[in-house]
Structure 1
């Protein structure tokens, strides 16, 4: 029985002759050029997990029950970041889990900024129009504004750094608010969001999906934001009360919202969300950049190097843990 690693060193034996299944057929062709020829691994590609024939499994999300009964499996590497689906998928608690959380950091931080600028510079009012008024604009400055960044993990911290460089005043929102986030003018606790919201000019959500973050940006937080506030979500959809957000936008209460994650994906073309005024619906693409698949493959190999050297894998993800408990 494999023992999950949480700290210290990893056993260096048993990681040199591996069957690796890429259960991510859309990304697999872009992973293969980096992985092919790597010593000590045999690659197999499939759309789903169909048999217990792999030591290592690489994939994004797994439907309920799809990982149950995989007795041979020792290591799961996620091409994304979220682990909230693994319990329902039936993953054994002793399987080693790593993820690709470091890969999209720059892309998502830049996309969050793009969303914010889209709203502050009234870009939706210009797209596809030839009758936009000349020499007049309702655009506002990002510089000098106070921007709350809810979630100060890798992406949130990268966004704080960029906001500060652009002259904004980033306020980091963390679970306890006790450890100052570098670059932020203040760090506040998540349970202070509603009380602090009136002092934010804008709010960007970079929150992971956990039981603790579900609905964290609720109706009370959104209602407390000033009428000129812009809201951006590049985290998880369930961390924001989207019904409350839509209601405020319909009432003209906020400047606008830019949302890259949604309660159901992909959204149907006739979904009512498309008609919400001043809501920019982005089709979950913040993570994307041309080199993403190659970086995911390199991340897998870097963690394999760690295992073979007897080190704890650099992208080890606690499993099971409070974060992904159902």
Structure 2
């Protein structure tokens, strides 16, 4: 039985807001550098920094500069980065063979970063859209995204990433059964320590547009992704998906996008208690950054408030393009 709250004036909530010291003592949630995962975009070349116009301040980096970025992130205390490749359009096919090429851009980046900055955890994206001539996360035949054939391709892709030295695999495709298939393949191949952070509740969202620009998938995409990504109207379905992925061997689960789905983050954490993450996606980043650049909001305060909101909603960590900027503020 919960105690009855005293009436005013015996209870004055403002007492604990009176000073910074009292506010700190009463603060319920804390954001730390250790909560951040930094997504970066890599491309071929050397010494290349290529601005992404729909994501102000974010650039595609050649592998040598991605290594420097990983070093900077580690020095700031950021525990993990997540690699997304900008694949040469000439390498994109309908069968997506480049996805499991041991020497593809992503796998070369993994090896280079782990060799130079072994202490940082490297997370990867396991989905076919960077390699797909159709721009979809799965193999397409006659306009239909094929589930089981895609899962087979994802297993091959995941194994190559594990061999390259990835610490965390991030299946983002939303195909049925892929977590169990990947986990089984990793165990069989001796990669028992490679973690899986499943994009368990990934919604068919309008907030992904700048990301698709960043990986070069916008022009290639034919149709939409509503047959495999979640309906934004659904909440109970997210819990069933998370339960399924945990039962198949996911170590961590993710909700994507982030801020429009904080209710899902809270439900997932309360229901399962599993390590729960959110992805503050490209559209969320672009809105905050764009408004700040126009002087409409205080960018730093909005950034930090948005990140703290994820912790309040129950998240154990956040994938965010703000990671280095937030880390510098948190370190003072």
TM-score class, shorter: under 0.3
Query: Could you say which structure has the higher helix fraction?
Result: 2
Instruction: Give the number of the structure whose alpha-carbon radius of gyration is greater.
Output: 1
Q: TM-score, normalised by structure 1?
A: 0.27
Q: TM-score, normalised by structure 2?
A: 0.27
